[in-house]
C-alpha cells in the first residue's frame, strides 16, 4: 500500500521502517498535515498522522478527495481529529490505545522530582559557583498526598510508582480501577476533595470537551497552598492564564509540564531562527518554579517500538479488510 507519513521526525523513522517490514511504499515527510499539505497524500490509500497534525473537517475532506481512506494515528490521544467527519466520509481511523505507559508515567515522576528538588535552579547555581542552599528547600514525598486525575494505563503506573515512595494516593476518574485500588490502596474521591487535600496533583486523563480547562481558577482556588501540579496529558486540560495567576499568588509552588495548550505551533520543531510570539508561553517557561519539556514524555525506545508495531498492525488489518479494536 502507498502510505504518506506526515510530521516524520528523525527519532521515529527507523522504528516505523522496521515495523513496515518492506510491505508498503512509505512516503516520509517532515511536513505536518494542514489544508495546504493534504494534497501531498494524493493517490495514497492511507496516511500516518502525529499528534501535531491538523485533522479538522476541512482537512479530512481534502484527504478524502485525494484518495485517502485510512488514517493511522501514531498516538493514544485522538482529540485532534474530527471523528464524526471521518465517519461521514467513510475514512476509517485507528489509534495506538496503549504503548509503554511507563514512558509517560516515569516522565511525570521525573518532572515531579525535578520541580520539587529544584534541580534546574540547583544546576544553574552550581555553574555560577553559588553553593548556597537557601533557595533549594523542598519536601519529602514520603507520606504526602498525591492526587491522580485519570487512573487508566498511565495514571495507574504513576500511582504504583508513587506508592513505592510511601505516598497516600487519591484518585479521580469516572471509571474506578478496582485492581489499582487493591494494589495501591488508592482512594477515589471528588476532584474538589483532591484539590483540597493533595500536596501534588498529576493529570493523566484525556482531553475531552468535559476536561478542557478542567483546571481553572475555580479548582486552583481550592488547592492547598504550596502544592505542585504535574501535567503530562494534554495542555488544554489546564487554563494557562489561571495557572500563571496561581503560580504568582503561590497557591501552586511549582509546575512540571510536558504539554502546553498552544503547543501546536511551537513543539516538535527547531525554532532557532524564528521568534515565538506567545506571552503566556514565555511567562511559563521563564517562571523559576516551572519546568516544561516539549511533549517528550512518550519518547523512549520501548514506546517508539510499540507505537510503530501497533500502527502497522492497524494498517495491515485494514488492508486485509479486518476490523481491530483500535478503530475509533
Task: Confirm whether 9 is a catalytic residue.
Answer: no
Task: Confirm whether 234 is a catalytic residue.
Answer: yes
Among 15, 186, 26, 39, which residue's Cα sits nearest to residue 100? 15
Is 74 a residue that touches ligand NAD (CB under 6 A)? no
**3-state DSSP of 232-258:** CCCHHHECHHHHHHHHHCCCEEEEEEC
Contacting residue, 120, 181, 206, 324, with ligand NAD by CB under 6 A? 206
Q: Which of residues 119-158 bind ligand NAD (CB under 6 A)?
A: 149-155
> Of 4-12, 138-146, 215-223, 232-240, which part binds ligand NAD (CB under 6 A)?
232-240
Nearer to ligand NAD, 150 or 254 (CB): 150
Residue count at the site for ligand NAD (CB under 6 A)?
31
User: Rounded distance, CA 119 to CA 290, Å?
Assistant: 11
Which residues, at least 6 apart from 91, have a Cβ–Cβ distance to it below 8 Å? Answer: 60, 63, 64, 68, 69, 70, 71
Nearer to ligand NAD, 97 or 122 (CB): 97
E strand or H helix at 173, and its extent? none
Among 232, 95, 68, which residue's Cα sits nearest to residue 154? 232
Is 90 a residue that touches ligand NAD (CB under 6 A)? no
Task: Confirm whether 322 is a catalytic residue.
Answer: no
162 phi/psi in degrees, rounded to 5: -70, -30
Is 298 a residue that touches ligand NAD (CB under 6 A)? yes
Residues at the contact surface with ligand NAD, assessed by CB under 6 A: 76-77, 98, 101, 104, 149-155, 172-175, 204-208, 210-211, 232-234, 258-259, 295, 297-298
Among all residues, which ones are annotated catalytic? 234, 263, 295
Amino acid at each position: 500500500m502507498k502510505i504518506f507519513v506526515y510530521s516524520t521526525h528523525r527519532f521515529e523513522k527507523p522504528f516505523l521502517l522496521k515495523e513496515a517490514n518492506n510491505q508498503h511504499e512509505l512516503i516520509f515527510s517532515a511536513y505536518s498535515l494542514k489544508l495546504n499539505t493534504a494534497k501531498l497524500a494524493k493517490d495514497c490509500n492511507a496516511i500516518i498522522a502525529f499528534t501535531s497534525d491538523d485533522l479538522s473537517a476541512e482537512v479530512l475532506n481534502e484527504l478524502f478527495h485525494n484518495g485517502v481512506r485510512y488514517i493511522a494515528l501514531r498516538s493514544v490521544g485522538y482529540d485532534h481529529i474530527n471523528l464524526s467527519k471521518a465517519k461521514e466520509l467513510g475514512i476509517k481511523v485507528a489509534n495506538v490505545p496503549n504503548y509503554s505507559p511507563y514512558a509517560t508515567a516515569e516522565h511525570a515522576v521525573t518532572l515531579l522530582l525535578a520541580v520539587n528538588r529544584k534541580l534546574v535552579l540547583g544546576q544553574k547555581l552550581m555553574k555560577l559557583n553559588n553553593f548556597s542552599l537557601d533557595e533549594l528547600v523542598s519536601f519529602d514525598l514520603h507520606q504526602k498526598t498525591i492526587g491522580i486525575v485519570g487512573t487508566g494505563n498511565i495514571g495507574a503506573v504513576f500511582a504504583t510508582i508513587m506508592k513505592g515512595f510511601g505516598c497516600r494516593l487519591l484518585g479521580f476518574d469516572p471509571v474506578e480501577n478496582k485492581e489499582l485500588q487493591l494494589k495501591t490502596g488508592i482512594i477515589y474521591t471528588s476532584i474538589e476533595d483532591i484539590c483540597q487535600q493533595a500536596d501534588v496533583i498529576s493529570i493523566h486523563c484525556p482531553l475531552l470537551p468535559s476536561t478542557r480547562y478542567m483546571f481553572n481558577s475555580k479548582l486552583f482556588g481550592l488547592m492547598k497552598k504550596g502544592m505542585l501540579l504535574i501535567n503530562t496529558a494534554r495542555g488544554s486540560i489546564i487554563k494557562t492564564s489561571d495557572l500563571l495567576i496561581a503560580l504568582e499568588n503561590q497557591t501552586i509552588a511549582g509546575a512540571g509540564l510536558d504539554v502546553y495548550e498552544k503547543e501546536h505551533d511551537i513543539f516538535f520543531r527547531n525554532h532557532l531562527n524564528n521568534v515565538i510570539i506567545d506571552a503566556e508561553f514565555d511567562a511559563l517557561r521563564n517562571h523559576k518554579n516551572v519546568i516544561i519539556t516539549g511533549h517528550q514524555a512518550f519518547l523512549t525506545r520501548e514506546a517508539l517500538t510499540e507505537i510503530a508495531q501497533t500502527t502497522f498492525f492497524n494498517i495491515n488489518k485494514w488492508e486485509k479488510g479486518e476490523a481491530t479494536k483500535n478503530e475509533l
